[in-house]
Structure 1
Amino acid sequence: MTAIATLILAAGRASRMRGRDKLLEPVDGTPLLARICAAAKHSAETTYVTLPTPDHPRAAVIRDHCLGARPVYVPDADEGMAASIRAGIGALSRAYDAVMILPADMPELTASDLAQVVAQSNSTPDQILRATSADGTFGHPVVFPRRYFAALSQLTGDQGARAILREAQHQGAVICPVPLPDQHALTDLDTPEAWAAWRQARKSPPTG
């Protein structure tokens, strides 16, 4: 059994939301950040959540809604996603064999989706795993075995772990796809317009 931790990246500025915080947007009556933490809770041993500061409203969501989640504060969060990944990897116990990394702004990811990724990690513990949409397009979450932790802890900039994925493929590593339903692995909502369109689509009955 692979000892796997979940790392939820929630320290970004959400600057494209024009004053709103996408991670506090309600989804079925629950803040998005609380929803994704609840999904993760049932999948991996421990959930770590990167946050900008202890007094940020997102930190209150973690305290009030996400029992057992471990906050990781990122003082240099303005650098971009790499700062969150570095901080999160630095907070992990040495007991973990792998980490499942996912952005917090993905409202369609479910507990079942994350459990499917973790189950695949238990079957292929030495491979990088990457969730895909139903049509095979790579998305999130991504699982990295421990041998990549050092590289993850040295990332810089706002490209996340893409450079590590490219280098792994260049060296012949297999990126194992984990298909999830529909667009679950791809849907992220960064603007008020995207949120409005997504909510409208959820209300509309399927056609055809």
Structure 2
Amino acid sequence: MNSQGQRIAAVLLAAGNASRFGTAKQTLPIDGMPMVRRAAMAALDAGLSPVVVVIGAYADTVQPCLAGLPVQLTENPDWASGMGSSLGLGVRTAMAMGAMPHALLVLLADQPGIRAADLKRLVEAHATAPGRIQAAHFDGHLGPPCLFPRAYFDELASLRGPNGARRLLKRYSDRVDRHELPSAAFDIDTPAGHAAWLAHQGAD
């Protein structure tokens, strides 16, 4: 449980085949650590539990990157149908693990700028407005990481195909609290994206 006494789960999406990158970007070293492990550790350091990591296309390659971490791995055999399929599976897995979480935070394996402090910010906002959705705002739109109260679990769990969390953020836009997180804009989808990230780091 977090400091507010609430059990907040995390679903980390790491199942895609990274077609635009050309290889398993989940394993890409970021500051000497596989990108997927970096994301999982941010969730753990933020006090989220359970942390469910959904793997798929590169399961045999991604799984060793998480060795020794107290996360729940679940493999999506239908990963090719889209992110919604992986998110739905991750939510169903989290719901089936012990006590029902009070909320659930969705994050992606390819946002290396996201730190535990960013996730804690969403968790703290949930504590003051438990009925609201909390989402990152960057580049003029809403997206992960985003936190959903329990009331949205069933809808998240039923997701299929390509439509993921952004579908709910759009549908319930009047119930979303926005958090400016410029670091969420850095998603590594292509080698050029990786180069941009490295350039950004070098400029800091």
- Listed as ranges, the matches of 1:12-27 within 5 Å are 12-18=16-22, 20-27=23-30
Deviation at 1:114, TM superposition (A): 1.0
Please say if residues 53 and 59 of structure 1, whose CA atoms lie closer than 8 Å, have aligned partners that are also in contact: no
- Structure with greater Cα Rg: 1
1:58-105 deviation digits (Å, cap 9, x = unpaired): 0111124xx101111111011010111111011113520110001110
Kindly indicate whether residue 102 of structure 2 is the aligned counterpart of residue 102 of structure 1: no
Deviation at 1:111, TM superposition (A): 1.1
Please say if residues 52 and 73 of structure 1, whose CA atoms lie closer than 8 Å, have aligned partners that are also in contact: yes
Matched residue of 1:34: which SS? Answer: helix
| Number of the residue aligned with 2:160 | 156
1:35 to 38, 58, 62: 38
TM-score by length of 2: 0.88
For structure 1, the residue ranges without an aligned partner over 5 or more in a row are: none
Kindly indicate whether residue 75 of structure 2 is the aligned counterpart of residue 73 of structure 1: yes
- Listed as ranges, the matches of 1:119-134 within 5 Å are 119-133=124-138
AA aligned to 1:5 is A
AA aligned to 1:116 is R
- Listed as ranges, the matches of 1:1-208 within 5 Å are 1=4, 2-18=6-22, 20-43=23-46, 44-52=48-56, 56-64=60-68, 67-92=69-94, 93=97, 94-133=99-138, 137-169=141-173, 173-180=174-181, 183-204=182-203
AA aligned to 1:179 is E
Q: Distance in 2 between matches of 1:55 and 1:189?
A: 19
Deviation at 1:166, TM superposition (A): 2.6
Q: Distance in 2 between matches of 1:145 and 1:115?
A: 15
Matched residue of 1:108: which SS? Answer: coil
Matched residue of 1:185: which SS? Answer: helix
Deviation at 1:186, TM superposition (A): 1.7
AA aligned to 1:23 is Q
Matched residue of 1:85: which SS? Answer: helix
- Provide runs of 4+ in structure 1 moved above 3 Å: none
Deviation at 1:159, TM superposition (A): 2.3
Please say if residues 134 and 148 of structure 2, whose CA atoms lie closer than 8 Å, have aligned partners that are also in contact: yes
Measured on the aligned residues, the alpha-carbon RMSD in Å equals: 1.9
1:107-145 deviation digits (Å, cap 9, x = unpaired): 100111111111111121111110224x76423211111
